[in-house]
Structure 1
Amino acid sequence: MNASPTTPSISEEAQKQPMKQKCEHHLECMKVIQAILDDEATEAEKDHFRENMDKCLPCIESYRLEKCIKESLNFKIEKKPCPESILKTIISKINS
């Protein structure tokens, strides 16, 4: 996994320490993982997750899996613009 300002990474020191095998707040961590991967996480959330990730095996495995899935989908899915007629229909239904 390549480190960048938006991608969490595991420090060398943390790799030497035993990691937790169970996450006590996995649901909350998954929400933060999704926010990070969607580039919607705050810096505080990213920092907190980096610290947690260094200690929690389920979180790092979940992050890697979710990242892999997202990258695979982005690679495989052809992005097409929404037809103007569908967009107008949706907007009119929202406004009515």
Structure 2
Amino acid sequence: EDFFSSAFLFNNVGAPFVIGMAVGYFAKKMLRITLFVSGAAIVLLFVAEYYGIVNISNADLQNAASSATDAAKSSGDFLVHRLSSITSKGVSGVAGFFAGFKFG
């Protein structure tokens, strides 16, 4: 098989890179939206605590942030693992993911 033919390169390098880039770009945009909404929710909780509606302990707030961080890490690991299985080597899909994440 000719490794430098355009059909081989597109199927094994180009297409997985583009797929990975799209997934990385989307992941970064969703992370930003999630952080924005989470920040707004935390500010609303602080305001509600100020007016005596709720009581928030620092330990509970740190525990929630820790579990959210763990969920984001496992989601990122899942995406990278899935992208690495697109081709036999998996390098181009993962490289595309990180390039898309940087551009996002």
Question: Which category describes the TM-score, using the shorter chain as reference length?
Answer: 0.3 to 0.5
**TM-score normalized by the length of structure 2:** 0.30
Which of the pair has more CA radius of gyration? Answer: 2
What is the TM-score normalised by the length of structure 1? Answer: 0.32
Q: Which structure is richer in relative contact order (CA contacts within 8 A, separation 6 or more)?
A: 2
